[in-house]
Amino acid sequence: MCSNRNTEEADFDVPLSAWCRFSYIKGRVVITGLVEASCIADDGRVQPGDILDTVNGVSLHDASKGVVLSVLRRGRGKPIVLKVVKAIGRDGHPFPPLAPYYDFLRQEVPNFCPSAYLMQRTNDVADGKQMVDGRLMYCLQYLGVRQLGQDSGVESLSKIIANLLDSHPAAVDVLFDIRETRVISTIKSTSKILFEHTYPDIASVGRYLGSPLSFAYSICIGDDLKGKNRFRCYLFQAATKECSEEIVKRIATGFSRTRWSV
């Protein structure tokens, strides 16, 4: 079912900042691009081609130029709430009623190409990603967890990954969701959350050169009897090397963005 309607599922808070580019087309506000590395780009729930339906409860139907910025200025310094009409539904297919807006949009923004964008989304699914409830998730294999002791550095992480791979662990198919403040692993067959960790909990993340598809991250699990931190390592395998690299970079970016809250 396509989520092209005003529902609570389409609502979420984002910080008031320069987060996207948009154009006014036939009385609607069409998102034409996202600011790279912004919270809204990393969150993944808003994509180029989506239509802004309301901002902070203000309807954008028949909107004229300047309305969005006016609403944003009134809410400066506070989170804002968006409702969007999705370009791509939960079934992974484009929403046909939006096609006329894209025809007009190509006249104003020649570089915007919905067909290329939709093609990219299709390829993403084939390359180990999947659309779930309007979010793009990574299809991974969870290979297990190991104790790291007191050292969460890169060398310790690499050794643990190598040892765990040598043990040929049983794999669990999971959907890996990278959100604004945390990562969530969900068992694919049951939709049950296996575990989730906030970025401030993550001590390190990295890949193992001996297995380009594999990556791992460590979290602090508390202090030992001597008051020193102890760490635990979670190991995954992606469908492609590119996916593995992308995930590591996104986790590192998320940690950098939230480190002030540690």
Domains and CATH numbers, the chain: 8-126 (2.30.42.10), 135-261 (2.30.29.30)
Q: Of 198 and 150, which is predicted with more confidence?
A: 198
Residue 142, pLDDT score = 95
Q: What is the mean pLDDT of the chain?
A: 77
What is the arithmetic mean of pLDDT over 67-79?
80
Classified as helix, coil or strand, 90 is coil
Amino acid, single-letter form, for residue 181: T
For the chain, give the percent of residues with pLDDT over 90. Answer: 19
List, as own/partner pairs, every contact residues 19-25 make where C-beta atoms lie below 8 angstroms and the sequence separation is at least 24, other chains included.
20/46, 22/52, 22/68, 23/105, 23/108, 23/109, 24/63, 24/64, 24/65, 25/101, 25/104, 25/105, 25/108
Q: Residue 124 pLDDT more than 60?
A: no
What confidence category does residue 8 fall into, taking pLDDT thresholds of 50, 70 and 90?
Answer: very low
Q: Both tokens of residue 132?
A: 């779930």
CA 154-157-160 angle, 5° bins: 150
Beta strand segments in 133-171, E: 135-149
Token duo for residue 160: 């643990």
Average pLDDT score over residue span 4-9: 34
In the block, which residue shows the tokens 């950098």? 256
Three-state DSSP class for residue 208: strand
- CB burial class (10 A; 0-12, 13-18, 19+) of residue 183? buried
Reported as a pLDDT band with limits 50, 70 and 90, residue 114 is low
Percent of the chain with pLDDT over 70: 76
Q: Report which of 78, 20, 16, 74 is spatially closest to residue 52, judged by C-alpha positions.
A: 20
Whole-model pTM: value is 0.60
The pLDDT of residue 92: 61
Q: How confident is the model at residue 17 (pLDDT cuts 50, 70, 90)?
A: very low
Q: What pLDDT score was predicted for residue 9?
A: 32
What was the pLDDT predicted at 120?
53
